[in-house]
Amino acid sequence: MNSKYAQILIPLVVAATVIIDVLISIGYEVWVGYAFAVLLCLWIEWSSAPYIVAAVATVLLQVGFILSAPSSAPDLAVFNRLVGAALVWVTAGLVWRAKLAKLDDATRRLGAIVESSSDAILSVTPDGFVTTWNAGAEGIFGYTAGEMIGGSILTLIPPHREKDKKWLLSTVRGVQTIHTYDAVRLTKDGRSIDVSVTVSPLRDAAGQFVGVSEIVRDISEQKRAQTFLRQAHERLEIKVQERTVELSGANHSLRELSSRLMQVQEEERSRLARDLHDEIGQLLTALKIDLQEVQHGEVGQAHAGALTDSLALVDHLLTQVRTLALDLRPSLLDDLGLVPALRWYANRQAKRNGWTLSLSVEGMARRVPVPIEVACFRIAQEALTNVAKYARAKTIDLTLHRQEEDVTLVIQDDGVGFDVVSARQRAQEGQSIGLLGMEERVRLAGGILEISSTAGRGTTILLRFPLSDPDPAEPRRTAEVMST
């Protein structure tokens, strides 16, 4: 039954009982209504409610005796009403004991919940002294109940946080509602831990403020997780910014490279046009003149001389065409692979420029993937061309080495060297394309390019290409260019 309904029903039962007693004299049975009213006090929160109702019922029993005309003998009527009053008071005592047992059971249940909680649950007086301390508090702070009960709550405040001590005492003395906040507390072994504290006021039966209860939860792991998440987010932001800068630089370099590629394409077309016109065109013109002489001349010795000159011109023409074709892409690279093509080109350049060439090949019994062969050959071609133009070198060392995991090509000269950083800067500004072209070619082949050069001590170019297929779940690594 609801407490509100019980409070309404009790006066109604009492009033009905006294009216019946006054109007209809029924003797000793009249106390049953009052006993029922006392039983209804089980649903009333006031602990003294059964005795109050019993006292009112005792008075009304006497009032009913005076106002009614009892049908039984007066002495028996008085005895019955005295017995009825006694029974009402016995019922009140039983109801009070039942309410007390119910309260004790609720208290035990609440105590069991408090003791089994993993959170620290404690109560503190307005002066800051601990009055209760559960097992959860022992687990979090390390102090036993015997060590903390009667002691100051300020024991849990780190020494360097004096402001927290003053604030805590003011909160303990003045809290009026439930209040939650995060704080730092000190354990018995001297560790500072992050906790979440919920403070609620405690009042006695009269409603007077007698202290506060605190529920303290260890949130150190949560704080560490938040800190780790924040740091990870900051690192991610930095990475995103770095990648954004890299992508911006890559896009700028790509635009510069595209522009230079178009320019180089036009320059290469112009060079091919000049070669075709100046050499092959002239040879074909001379061949045409000789053939016209043969056509219009007389049969004899002149024909033989003209034919001899024509054959020499054809041989020269074939040589020029073959040279142009080899410069564009040597057939050795497609037919026989990287090692023969690299040996042919390096020997040809060494002979043309007067270099002392050292070529070392190891572990290249089997061919490597075509993109790696093309990248190695083109980088070597570009590097040797640059050495011939600028380095004034005398010795060239080429080392081609294959292991189980990668292929390495090292090109080293003893020339004058150059400033790699400045060269890259000029390439990014569009003043040259060689270095950017090498980097882009290596990047597309999935390799690593390292260039080191010192003034007066030559230049070393190292290429490394992985042979194993990348894991599809892993992002593909692009080329790394290290400059010194």
> pLDDT tens-digit profile of 432-478?
666 777 887 888 888 889 999 888 888 999 999 998 754 444 444 44
161 with 146: CB under 8 angstroms?
A: no
For residue 63, the SS3 value is helix
CATH class of 330-484: alpha beta
Q: What is the C-alpha separation between 331 and 326, in angstroms, rounded?
A: 7
Helix (H) or strand (E) holding 124: strand 120-124
128 with 74: CB under 8 angstroms?
A: no
What does the DSSP assignment read for 213-276?
EEEEEE-HHHHHHHHHHHHHHHHHHHHHHHHHHHHHHHHHHHHHHHHHHHHHHHHHHHHHHHHI
Could you read off the pLDDT of 120-173 as tens digits, one per residue? 888 888 888 898 888 888 989 999 988 988 888 888 888 877 777 777 777 777
283 with 321: CB under 8 angstroms?
A: no
Which pLDDT value is given to residue 479? Answer: 42
Q: Do domains 117-218 and 330-484 have the same CATH topology?
A: no
Q: What is the C-alpha separation between 128 and 126, in angstroms, rounded?
A: 5
The β-bridge partners of 410 are 399, 462
Domain positions in the chain: 3-114, 117-218, 224-328, 330-484
CA distances to 267, 337, 448, 484 from 463, rounded to whole Å, are 28, 17, 6, 15
Which pLDDT value is given to residue 297? Answer: 63
- Classify residue 364 by burial, with Cβ atoms within 10 Å: 0-12, 13-18, 19+: middle
Cβ atoms within 10 Å, residue 67: 12
C-alpha neighbours within 13 Å on the C-beta side of residue 334: 5
Q: Which fold has domain 117-218?
A: Beta-Lactamase (3.30.450)
Q: What is the C-alpha separation between 118 and 141, in angstroms, rounded?
A: 12
Low-confidence ranges of the chain (pLDDT < 70): 1-2, 25-30, 69-76, 103-107, 110-114, 174-176, 205-206, 253, 255-284, 286-287, 290, 292-307, 310-311, 313, 316-330, 427-434, 469-484
CA distances to 46, 253, 273, 288 from 315, rounded to whole Å, are 126, 45, 20, 14
- If we measure between CA atoms, which residue out of 208, 153, 211, 225 comes closest to residue 183? 153
Which pLDDT value is given to residue 268? Answer: 61
The β-bridge partners of 197 are 181, 216
Record the tokens describing residue 243, joined without a space.
């990648």
Which pLDDT value is given to residue 409? Answer: 93
Which pLDDT value is given to residue 29? Answer: 62
CA distances to 114, 168, 238, 333, 337 from 402, rounded to whole Å, are 71, 72, 38, 17, 14
Which pLDDT value is given to residue 199? Answer: 86
Q: What is the C-alpha separation between 305 and 307, in angstroms, rounded?
A: 5
Please give, one letter per residue, the 3-state secondary structure of 291-313. HHHHHHCCCCHHHHHHHHHHHHH
C-alpha neighbours within 13 Å on the C-beta side of residue 426: 11
- Classify residue 227 by burial, with Cβ atoms within 10 Å: 0-12, 13-18, 19+: exposed
How far the first Cα of the chain sits from its last, in Å, is: 89
Which pLDDT value is given to residue 26? Answer: 60
411 with 380: CB under 8 angstroms?
A: yes
Which pLDDT value is given to residue 357? Answer: 92
